[in-house]
């Protein structure tokens, strides 16, 4: 009989579904430093919308912000964010802080598993020394570590945690066996045993880099086709009739993974003397798309005789992807700021997002509802289901008689809007 008590550190988009799933098989403590988040979960509400109210009510996990509730755990799974700073450098402070907290309660034979996205080598080069120093225990003699990258796709209800193959790795064969046993207990899709922690770390970052580079290619093609006066989606639909053509679409590329992970790997690459080109070229294109869209919109408005200064522009959608309230690293903010630089009066409407979080993160006051016959232009920036349920006439009802509708996400048929990416 295995007597595992598991502590999940960080109860966001990744940690909460994991804690709830594991609690069906093990004794689980879910820990987060955010007291408001804990109070929310204790009232069986999850603002990330990843776990339902009924699942929270039925979960056996102890939800807490008291680090002492973790002291009896022998397995620790760290799922804290790993963002980038203003200069696109990895910000490992949340990871280091969580590791330091765990080091103070680490015991002999405990295992610490990391799920947070990092560059290859970070677990053993950055986290292990912190664990050793804080616990005064010896790595791979007294305690062990593992890495199992998170693969949650926020907002995607078609692929739940249990239905996504889990890559697992461990610092010793025995640690790997334990880690694999724990994850296999709740992952019905199965696990993949990586040969090393560095391989598992690398696999995570390139999953998102591959997607980032492919979208960058389509974004660049979109810019080119605009110069050629060819509709990008018409081209993609035609090309998509070939069996091996990959179905990527143009758009803003943000969020806590795709817009961040490339910088983790390029940071590591530079540290060993290699300067990557394709990865950074893709990031440059994607980071510039919000400014490109803003310029396209302004140019189109001018052609319609609309004065840009003090014009009223409505952006529909703020989150980084459809049907997801996650506002981290959303490139819609870049679009908002680019339009503000033209001295336009810009408002944002997003019924999926938490208005308090929008204000806390960006100082934005989200609209509760757009005004009728008020706007010179509307940008459909995020393809939320609630927006897809609207008609083009509904969107035009927000506008003045002379206006411009820019459909960034191909929400409507091209003949029904005035412009699109």
Whole-angstrom distance, CA of residue 410 vs CA of residue 421: 8
Whole-angstrom distance, CA of residue 7 vs CA of residue 211: 32
**127: annotated active-site residue:** no
Residues contacting residue 258 through CB under 8 Å, at least 6 positions apart? 208, 211, 212, 215
Residue 162 is given by DSSP the state: G
Which tokens is 120 given? 């290859």
Which tokens is 123 given? 């677990």
Question: Strand order in 5-9's β-sheet?
Answer: 62-64, 27-31, 5-9, 75-78, 111-114, 144-147, 166-170, 191-193
Q: Across the strands, what pairs with 111? A: 75, 144
Question: Strand order in 345-349's β-sheet?
Answer: 345-349, 312-316, 375-380, 399-407, 419-420
Active-site choice (73, 108, 127, 257): 257
* Whole-Å CA distances, 114 to 177, 274, 392: 16, 26, 46
- Write out the catalytic residue numbers: 257
């Amino acid at each position: 009989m295995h007597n595992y008590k598991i502590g999940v550190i960080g109860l966001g988009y990744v940690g909460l579904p994991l804690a709830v799933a594991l609690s069906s098989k093990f004794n689980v403590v879910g820990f987060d430093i955010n007291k408001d988040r804990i109070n929310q979960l204790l009232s069986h509400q999850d603002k990330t919308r990843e776990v339902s109210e009924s699942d929270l009510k039925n979960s056996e996990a102890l939800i807490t912000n008291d680090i002492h509730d973790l002291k009896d755990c022998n397995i620790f799974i760290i799922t804290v964010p790993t963002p980038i700073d203003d200069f696109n450098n990895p910000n490992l402070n949340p990871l280091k802080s969580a590791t330091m907290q765990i080091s103070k309660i680490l015991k002999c034979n405990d295992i610490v598993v990391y799920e947070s996205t990092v560059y290859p080598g970070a677990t053993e080069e950055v986290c292990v020394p912190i664990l050793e120093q804080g616990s005064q225990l010896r790595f791979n003699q007294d305690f062990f570590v593992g890495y199992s990258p998170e693969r949650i796709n926020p907002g995607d209800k078609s692929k739940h945690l249990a239905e996504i193959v889990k890559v697992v790795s461990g610092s010793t064969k025995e640690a790997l066996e334990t880690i694999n046993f724990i994850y296999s207990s709740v992952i019905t899709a199965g696990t993949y045993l990586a040969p090393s922690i560095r391989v598992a770390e690398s696999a995570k970052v390139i999953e998102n880099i591959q997607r980032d580079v492919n979208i960058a290619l389509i974004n660049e093609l979109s810019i080119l086709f605009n110069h050629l006066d060819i509709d990008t989606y018409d081209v993609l639909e035609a090309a998509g009739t070939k069996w091996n053509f990959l179905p990527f679409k143009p758009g803003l590329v943000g969020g806590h993974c795709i817009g961040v992970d490339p910088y983790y790997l390029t940071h590591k690459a530079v540290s060993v003397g290699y300067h990557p080109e394709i990865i950074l070229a893709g990031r440059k294109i994607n980071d510039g798309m919000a400014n490109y869209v803003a310029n396209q919109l302004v140019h189109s408005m001018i052609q319609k005789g609309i004065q840009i200064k003090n014009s009223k522009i409505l952006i529909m959608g703020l989150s980084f992807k459809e049907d997801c309230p996650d506002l981290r690293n959303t490139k819609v903010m870049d679009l908002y700021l680019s339009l503000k630089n033209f001295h336009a009066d810009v408002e944002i409407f997003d019924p999926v997002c938490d208005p308090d979080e929008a204000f806390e993160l960006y100082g934005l006051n989200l609209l509760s509802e757009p005004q009728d016959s008020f706007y010179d232009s509307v940008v459909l920036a995020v393809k939320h289901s609630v927006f897809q349920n609207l008609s083009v006439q509904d969107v035009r009802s927000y506008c003045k008689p002379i206006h411009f509708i820019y459909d960034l996400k191909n929400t409507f048929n091209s003949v029904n809007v005035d412009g699109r990416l």
